[in-house]
Structure 1
Amino acid sequence: MSEGAVVRKQGIGELLRIRPYVQFMLGKVIARFGDSIDSIAYSWMVYILTGSKLLMGTLLAVNFLPNILLGLFAGALVDRMSPKKVIVLTNAGRGLLVGITALLFGLGQLQVWHLFVVTILISLLECFTSPAEVSSVPRLLPQSMLLSGNAMSSSASRVAELAGLALAGALIATAGIAWTIFIDAVLFALSAICMSRVVYPTSNTSSKHENQAILDDAVNPSANAKSIFAEMMDAFLFVRKHVLLLIVSILFAFVNFCLMPFNVLRTPYVMETLQAGAGGLSLLSGLMVGGMVLSGLWMSHAGANYRKSLLVISGIVMLGLSYALTALPAYMSDFQLPAAAACCLLMGFGIPLATTPLASYLMEVTPSEMLGRVSALQSMLCLSVVPLGSLAAGALAEWIALPVLFIVFGLLLALSVIMILFSKSFRQMS
């Protein structure tokens, strides 16, 4: 087979000919579009309802707890279930919970404790959705098309996210928060319907595995649970063996910690520092995603010309410095929103520079049959300090000005590259 034939088989045209994958992508894009609308509307709703920065930080911390505590278990469990059923049920469940939230808020009955309950339940569902989506792609595509399929999936999700963020502010301004959140609920339901129509190809290997799992569970239910925990332990042993994965996980745990003030306090930053409305919040969030799209496009064309270690360092430094510069509009009398928007664009550009090479490295060194568990474990490690960062951000914002917080944590983020410069394995990562 010629090289040109191989290239054509990895192109977008070939991907679009695989109908189950296209249906899967459509369902995923719809859900991501709803997620991005929800991220703006929900944050705006919480701040209007509570007016408390500390409570916003606490709620965001609670949002990450299920993933940290149960993410690895959910990943191992999903490997034994039908990913299609998992995605359909979890998306339908998320739509129902979001719809209830919209109804309660519209009726004026939404209480703070409702927010915590709904947040925990939605996060629990997301613990199962993510590994199910990861395990779906190899089932729908041949191995030779996984790279192009993952690239297309990432790009499509970013575009959907960008569109949702751009639309969220307009929806809030015209339809109101309750109807905006209700639209998000409808999108999750629509995503579940699309996913239910995806036909997963069956293979003898997967069928035998599923049949054996069913038989083992029927004969000895405890054996099934024991094997799940054994598979979870395999993931720990694998990461322990590959020290660079552990170092990277620690690094990005610190990066996520430093980003929490901006993630938690973006809404009050827009309202109080920039004196802008929901449209301003959509603009900043949209430009961050836009920067990620631009960075991803650049990476796809020129990223292979640079060492992964150089890209990671450049991305983290760019992210940290542009984060610190978001404080600059607070000391400006004019053009505050455009200045903040430019900083957010640079922040977005730095994220793929830092994360994409490491994601590629993870896929290169991890056996495909362990990828779901290992990626879930790494995600759990990277998110481990997010609740602490969320709580700290909310508490500090009560007595420290937002611009000062952004400067301090942005500089700390940029300086975090020092911890990996001493790693020989990281410096040698090609």
Structure 2
Amino acid sequence: MSDNTAVGKQGMGELIRIRPYMQFMLSKVVSRFGDSIDSIAYSWMVYILTGSKVLMGTLLAVNFLPNILLGLFAGALVDRMSPKKVIVITNTGRGLLVGITALLFGLGQLEVWHLFVITILNSLLECFTSPAEVSSVPRLLPPSMLLSGNAMSSSATRVAELAGLAVAGALIATIGIAWTILIDAGLFALSALIMSRVGYPDVLTSANNENKTSTEMDSLSSDKSSIFSEMAEAFHFLRKHALLLIVSILFAFVNFCLMPFNVLRTPYVIETLHAGAGGLSLLSGLMVGGMLLSGVWLTQRGANYRKSVLVISGIVMLGLSYAMTALPAYMTSFQLPVAAAFCLLMGMGIPLATTPLATYLMEVTPSEMLGRVYALQSMLVLSVAPLGSLASGALADWMTMPVLFIVFGIMLAMSAGMLLFSKSFRSAL
């Protein structure tokens, strides 16, 4: 026990001494803090501006489209660019877009078509930011420190999300939506400034690159057609690994089932829980808090269980907790605390379901293909999200939100049966 603790402390101390990585992580934490504030303020703004559940679902559907259509191409393209420049440019661009949104809303000039244009542009920039952040880590850390570095980054961003969600409701209540969104714009600008100060080593030190020959490195500047060849390799790899493909399809269905809750969370807080922006912050914050608690538990105890058991348990917990968020609609008191408790359980189920599968993906995928395969799997998982968003907004007009949550939550929980009766899944995990 003491040996393990010593190793953990040593890893943490070494990470803190790597200045470029700590600057990179600080930039990421600042942008994630802004993302969390924006997620509450933007959702609240859209509902106040439109009052339409159908439009909210349509807007969320549009948000997924750039990643679905261009995510794999963006991932392959980022591999050929400086990740530092990509992150600085995209965070600066996102800050400008958010700032324009705040300005238009504050002046009373924000219209629905503005929301769609800004959402598409913002999502397009995110397509480049995520793979650039992933590719930055092995450039800034030696191979022996990747695990501890990723763990620290994950924990820090979860804390940033919690902090952002915690203050969002208070900011909206005290200074208004426009100023809250403007603060988010400033945070993106600050993140870009911090990132511009990060010094990337000239020599790539990651395990993925340390054994590459000069010919292989020169291929990074080859003609554009090779980008599409690399994208095709990801398709071939996923097709040959049936279990990864099955899991991708399953989690596409899970995402589809979660769309009613994602789309209708703001009207759920207002109409069912009779709470304000603070209530929305509370529910979102507890979901992130549940994810943090579950992640810590997985770090300490997860290795004692088969991955298949963790995944199935996580999906069942997520689905049943989701269905139980309908319970407050049939209560006369303590509605918000009950909803908050089930949101916490929903958050705890997410890492149980997803972390073992992410680990399996890393175990079976060659390191030089991991970015492309990850991007392709993400595209597949998100592929039905726009349909789910549109369906959620439409269904909410003739079916009550509690009934929607019950139906889709039970469907989600039952999807675990697909894995429970799959011998290949149980044997591989």
TM superposition score category, shorter chain reference: over 0.9
Q: Is the 8 A contact 2:80 2:221 kept in 1?
A: no
User: Is 1:290 aligned with 2:296?
Assistant: no
In 2, Cα distance between the equivalents of 1:207 and 1:168?
49
Asked if the contact 1:80–1:213 (Cα under 8 Å) also holds between the matched residues in 2, the reply is: no
1:221 corresponding residue in structure 2: none
8 Å contact kept, 2:67–2:124: yes
**Pairing of 1:272-291 with structure 2 (within 5 A):** 272-291=271-290
Contact 2:80–2:220 (Cα < 8 Å) also in 1: no
> In structure 2, how many angstroms separate the alpha carbons of the residues matched to 1:344 and 1:209?
51
| Unaligned stretches of 5+ residues in structure 1 | 217-223
Q: Matched residue of 2:278: which SS?
A: helix
1:62 maps to a residue whose letter is V
Q: What amino acid sits opposite 2:374 in the alignment?
A: S
1:58 deviation in Å?
A: 0.1
Q: Which residue number corresponds to residue 345 of structure 1?
A: 344
Report what 1:134 is aligned to: 134
CA deviation map 1:390-420 (0-9, x unaligned): 0000000011000000000000000001122
Q: For the residues of structure 2 that align with 1:10 and 1:250, how far apart are their CA atoms?
A: 40
**Amino acid corresponding to residue 86 of structure 2 in structure 1:** V
CA apart distance, 1:12: 1.5
Distance 1:171 1:18 in 2: 35
Aligned to 1:34: 34
User: Is this contact kept in 2: 1:67–1:127, CA < 8 A?
Assistant: yes
SS of the equivalent of 1:11 reads helix
The residue that corresponds to 1:156 in the other structure is: 156
TM-score by length of 2: 0.95
Cα displacement (A) at 1:243: 1.2
State the alpha-carbon separation in 2 of the partners of residues 112 and 209 from structure 1: 51
Q: Report the equivalent of 2:304.
A: 305
Which residue number in structure 1 is paired with residue 55 of structure 2?
A: 55
Mapped to 1, the partners of 2:104 and 2:385 lie a distance apart of 28
What secondary structure sits across from 1:43 in the alignment? Answer: helix
- Per-residue CA deviation, residues 168-214 of structure 1 (Å, 9 max, x unaligned), is 00000001000000000000000001111111112276895797358
Distance in 2 between the 1:145 and 1:54 partners? 47
| Partner residue, 2:190 | 190
1:108 matched to which residue of 2?
108
Matched, 1:325 2:316: no
Cα distance between partner residues in 2 of 1:272 and 1:385: 27
Residue aligned with 1:334, SS: coil
Q: Structure 1 residues 91 and 260, CA, compared in 2 at 3 Å: closer, same or farther?
A: same
Q: Distance in 2 between matches of 1:400 and 1:347?
A: 23
Preserved contact between residue 71 and residue 377 of structure 1 (Cα < 8 Å): yes
* Pairing of 1:90-105 with structure 2 (within 5 A): 90-105=90-105
When residues 211 and 411 of structure 1 are mapped into structure 2, their CA distance, relative to the original with a 3 A threshold, is closer
Contact 2:318 2:349 in 1 (8 A): yes
What's the CA shift string for 1:210-266, capped at 9, x where partnerless? Answer: 9735864xxxxxxx2210000000111111111111111001000000000000000
Aligned to 2:145: 145
**Partner residue, 1:370:** 369
Q: Which residue of 2 aligns with 1:212?
A: 218
Tell me if the contact between 1:8 and 1:14 (Cα under 8 Å) persists in the aligned partners: no
TM-superposed CA distance for 1:153, in Å, is 1.1
For residue 428 of structure 2, give the secondary structure of its aligned residue in structure 1: coil
AA of the residue aligned to 2:45: M
Determine if contact 1:80/1:210 at 8 Å carries over to the other structure.
no
Query: Percent same amino acid among aligned pairs?
Result: 81
Partner of 1:230 in structure 2?
Answer: 229
Secondary structure of the 1:428 match is: helix
Deviation of 1:425 after TM superposition, in Å, equals: 2.3
1:89 and 1:266 mapped to 2: Cα distance?
32
1:294 maps to amino acid: L
Aligned letter for 2:290? G
Q: Which amino acid aligns with 1:304?
A: A
2:72 aligned residue: 72
Give distance in 2, aligned partners of 1:385 and 1:10.
Answer: 44
The 1:6/1:79 distance shift into structure 2, 3 A limit, reads: farther
The offset of 1:424, in angstroms, is 2.0
Aligned residue pair count: 421
Q: Which runs of 5 or more structure 2 residues have no equivalent in the other structure?
A: none
Matched with 1:124 is 124
CA RMSD of aligned residues (A): 1.7
Rounded Cα–Cα distance in structure 1 between residues aligned with 2:131 and 2:144: 21
TM-aligned CA deviation for residue 429 of structure 1: 3.2
**AA at the equivalent of 2:396:** A
- TM-score, structure 1 as length reference: 0.95
Q: 1:212 is matched by which residue type in structure 2?
A: D
Task: Kindly indicate whether the alpha-carbon contact (under 8 Å) linking 2:255 and 2:382 is maintained by their aligned counterparts in 1.
Answer: yes
- Assess if the C-alpha contact under 8 Å between 1:307 and 1:429 holds in 2: no
Partner residue, 1:245: 244
